[in-house]
Structure 1
Amino acid sequence: MVKLKKYNGFLKLFVIFLTLFFIFSCSPKNYSLTKIEGKQLPITEKGAQTPEIENFIKPYRDHINKDLDSVLAYCPETLDKSNGKWQTAIGSLMADVCVQRGNLVFKPRENKTIDLCLLNHGGIRAILPKGNVTTRTAFEIMPFENNLVVLGLKGEQVQEIATYIIKEKKAQPLSGMTFTIAKDKTAKNIMVQGKPLDLNKIYYVATNDYLANRGDNMNFFGKSVEKYDLNYKLRNVLIDYFKEVDTIPVPKDIRITEE
């Protein structure tokens, strides 16, 4: 009888042990990351193509290429942003086009007129080659999704634009404004739309949304008193302009002079 009681006691302990074992073995384990390994897998043209994928995307690729390669206009000479100290033909053209096309939206919507345009030298990403100009050309020159923005600036901030251009020593695209760089590296004879700069006047300056937010250290744009987003991509500004002209006129006028 005593042996039977001992046996039952051991049996109970064994059952409890098995129960606890299964409970803890089935409970979720906490894992922690200790090491990450990887290797670079370059994507090259040498990689094998999957016929099914290629056949699927081909119609879309052909359609896009057809649109991109459609001829819009003709350029009589190659325009390159590297050809010019204080201004370039391609920069002047882009700024002129932004004023022209921007006013088609700004005038009827706000009953105001764009006075000048300032873009950035680095924003021009390709040349405008001699010959046929296509939609692809516009994408190459302006690959970014920047919108055209108009800012209301006081005359003092317009004066800062000239100071900025002199300091940066780059051919920033400029339209509607001219000035002379004096021997002491200050701006003089600042003219807007052919009239002397009025420090008390509000001027409407076209630019892109990146620069409007003080990009490229254009901090004067942060002092604007009015702001209008035209919801008009700069790339589309170029495309629409190319569509309406047969031969692109090359700007030759001098906008910045040195003493």
Structure 2
Amino acid sequence: MKFTNLLLVSVLLLALSCKTPTDVYKIEGKNVNITDSIQADARIETFIKPYREHINKDLDSILGYSVDTYSKSDGHLNTAIGNLMADVVYQEADPVFFKRTGAHIDFVLLNHGGIRSIISKGAITKRTAFEVMPFENSIVVSKLPGAQVQELLDYLARAKRAHPISKLKILLDRESNVIESAVDGVAIDFNKTYYIATNDYLINGGDGMDFFKSSEEVIVLDYKIRNALVDYFMKTDTLNPVADDRFIQLKD
């Protein structure tokens, strides 16, 4: 009898659970603006104060010195700060890539818009790296066929913008046609494939760089550009980057 009652209760519960609900619920929300008028909670402030002080002390520890102020608007086809960014990615990422694959990075291509701040003359700190690269962009390496390397060059020639490059040299004529291109001093062979270090935004076609979508392989290094900057700053006493002839256009 007890078993029968238990079975009956179970059947009733199952039936009720399968019944289509008929109640209608209305959910409302509203925006709460966060402004200076909101009073801080003293208990929370007391709790987080030592953590904030520790983080600020770490971020503001002086790592080196910049001899000048550098901005991404300082040049036409290449800039000192852009050259620094690309060279740092090559220098810091190539040993990681080689250890993992046994191959070397051929050249680097980043995006002009990824540089989010100037580097000011004076002390260089970890905070400098966070200001220049506040995003979580990571370094990836594309194995790109020669045909898409040609598309890459054509893209840069059309853009006429100082997208940071390293180990790559481009010369345009007066009509903005590519008349010379080389990787580490050797003319590009469009029948080969090249390993190109870039970021995880561009590898998916960001900034219209659709040629990266044809990558034969993408190697993720698990290495943020910001961390590469910090690693470089920690072993470099003085920053003195320059604009050079890695990407130029003939005037006459």
TM norm structure 1: 0.84
**SS of equivalent residue, structure 1 residue 254:** coil
Per-residue Cα deviation, 1:50-70 (whole angstroms, up to 9, x for no partner): 211111111111111111111
CA distance in 2, matches of 1:253, 1:201: 27
Give runs of aligned pairs for residues 91-102 of structure 1, distance below 5 A.
91-102=82-93
- For residue 102 of structure 2, what is the amino acid of its counterpart? N
Structure with bigger gyration radius: 1
Shift of 1:29: 7.3
TM norm structure 2: 0.86
Query: Which residue of 105, 108, 114 maps to 1:117?
Result: 108
**SS of equivalent residue, structure 1 residue 103:** helix
Q: Which runs of 5+ in 1 are unaligned?
A: 1-27
**SS of equivalent residue, structure 1 residue 113:** coil
Shift of 1:229: 0.7
Per-residue Cα deviation, 1:196-249 (whole angstroms, up to 9, x for no partner): 110111211100111111111111111111221111111000000000110013
**SS of equivalent residue, structure 2 residue 245:** coil
Shift of 1:127: 0.7
Aligned match of 1:247: 238
Matched, 1:86 2:77: yes
Query: Which residue of 130, 133, 136 maps to 1:145?
Result: 136
Aligned match of 2:23: 30
Give runs of aligned pairs for residues 124-135 of structure 1, distance below 5 A.
124-135=115-126
RMSD: 1.7
Query: Which residue of 202, 205, 211 maps to 2:196?
Result: 205
- For residue 195 of structure 1, what is the amino acid of its counterpart? V
Task: Name the CA shift for 1:32/1:42 in 2 (closer, same or farther; >3 Å).
Answer: closer
Matched, 1:218 2:209: yes
**SS of equivalent residue, structure 1 residue 161:** helix
**SS of equivalent residue, structure 1 residue 185:** coil
Per-residue Cα deviation, 1:51-91 (whole angstroms, up to 9, x for no partner): 11111111111111111111111111111001111111111
**Contact between 2:144 and 2:195, CA under 8 Å: does it hold in 1?**
yes
**SS of equivalent residue, structure 2 residue 238:** coil
CA distance in 1, matches of 2:97, 2:40: 49
Matched, 1:52 2:49: no
CA distance in 1, matches of 2:136, 2:114: 11
Query: Which residue of 141, 144, 148 maps to 1:157?
Result: 148
CA distance in 2, matches of 1:245, 1:256: 25
Shift of 1:156: 2.3
**Contact between 2:68 and 2:240, CA under 8 Å: does it hold in 1?**
no
- For residue 31 of structure 1, what is the amino acid of its counterpart? V
